[in-house]
Amino acid sequence: MMQQPLFTVGDVPVFGDAILSPMAGYSDVPYRALCRAYGSAMHYTEFVPVEALLGKRVHERFRQRLDTQPGEHPMVFQIFGNNAQMLLDAARRIQEWEPDIIDINMGCATRKVSGRGAGVGMMPQPKLIEETFKLLSQHLEVPVTGKIRLGWDATQENFLQIGRILEQNGAALIAMHGRTKVQKYGGQANWDAIAELKQAVSVPVIGNGDVQTPQDIDRMKAHTGCDAVMIGRAAIGNPWIFARQRREELQIGEIIKAVRLHAREMVNYYGETSGLRQFRKHLKQYFEDIPDIELDRLLSTESFAEFGVFLGEVETAVPADVHIKNLQESLSFHSA
């Protein structure tokens, strides 16, 4: 029997309710492959500025951001800019990569992006959002979606107005991070606001912000009625969240296995030196709550063979079937 999709984005079916957030510097081809293996249901590219797509040649750095693996579907290509025509031109250029969906980033809060009216800097410009979505949904064959925040600051939380504008102008899905631009990552994400947005629009809504455990996925869904949940920071070094496995319940052997696999994917994709260097930020997160691991050696090696040897030593020092929650105990037992 054919599996029923949980929801559709335009005519693109989505088969799960936990989705890896777009994260520049993290949600690249290798990490997306791992998260998908654990159950992440839809993927976004890291965001790309429209300007990078409008020149004769797309710079290698951005080409890499637009890269996907065969079979990686649904794949959402995310762009940002502050001009409707440029956003359309950039989206058209992306057709070369055969996207399933085009997403407009209206959530990035960095000064460089939002300060020039792109990212969350679009939210105080409802007319620009209206024009952009009208243009893109008229001219593109693929669905167009938006990722927003609550608004600019506590006095301008206009997500309901923007949500309705998006829907009326052809957006096929809205993802919302429950914070304002001014909050950046401070305070707590407002899940009540996600519930309000879900009530106000009829297109699917993805809730985002502060989902840290598998239980939180279900809590956010129950609290907001959202169609799916997007997980960012808590998924770094923790792809198991997509399989709804609690980190404390993992055995150390499973973590080492994922580290080995992820490192190998990085090396295959970026080459040995660059792959291992770029893997370091992930590695710190994988081993963040595991005491007494000699991380320095793993972090400094530029040889994949040596990395494998060091990782093997970690593996033999710690019994593979110990759960993280019991690790401290087991390590002190070993060194006694």
Ligand X SMILES: Cc1cc2nc3c(=O)[nH]c(=O)nc-3n(C[C@H](O)[C@H](O)[C@H](O)COP(=O)(O)O)c2cc1C
Closer by beta carbon to ligand X, 142 or else 241: 241
Closer by beta carbon to ligand X, 208 or else 224: 208
Minimum CB distance to ligand X, residue 298 (Å):
21
3-state SS string for the chain: CCCCCCEEECCEEECCCEEECCCCCCCCHHHHHHHHHHCCCCEECCCEEHHHHHCCCCCHHHHHHCCCCCCCCCEEEEEECCCHHHHHHHHHHHHHHCCCEEEEEECCCCHHHHCCCCHHHHCCCHHHHHHHHHHHHHHCCCCEEEEECCECCHHHCCHHHHHHHHHHCCEEEEEEECCECCCCCCCCCCHHHHHHHHHHCCCCEEEECCCCCHHHHHHHHHHHCCCEEEECHHHCCCHHHHHCCCHHHCEHHHHHHHHHHHHHHHHHHHCHHHHHHHHHHHHHHHCCCCCCCCHHHHHHCCCHHHHHHHHHHHHHHCCCCCEHHHHHHHHHHHHC
Closer by beta carbon to ligand X, 38 or else 307: 38
Active site residue 35: no
Enumerate binding residues for ligand X (CB under 6 A): 21-26, 46-47, 78, 105, 107, 147, 177, 208-211, 231-234
Minimum CB distance to ligand X, residue 113 (Å):
10
Closer by beta carbon to ligand X, 137 or else 208: 208
Minimum CB distance to ligand X, residue 169 (Å):
19
Closer by beta carbon to ligand X, 174 or else 322: 174
Residue nearest ligand X by beta-carbon distance:
232
Minimum CB distance to ligand X, residue 105 (Å):
5
Minimum CB distance to ligand X, residue 307 (Å):
24
Which among 102, 108, 129, 203 is annotated as catalytic? 108
Please identify every residue annotated as catalytic.
Answer: 108
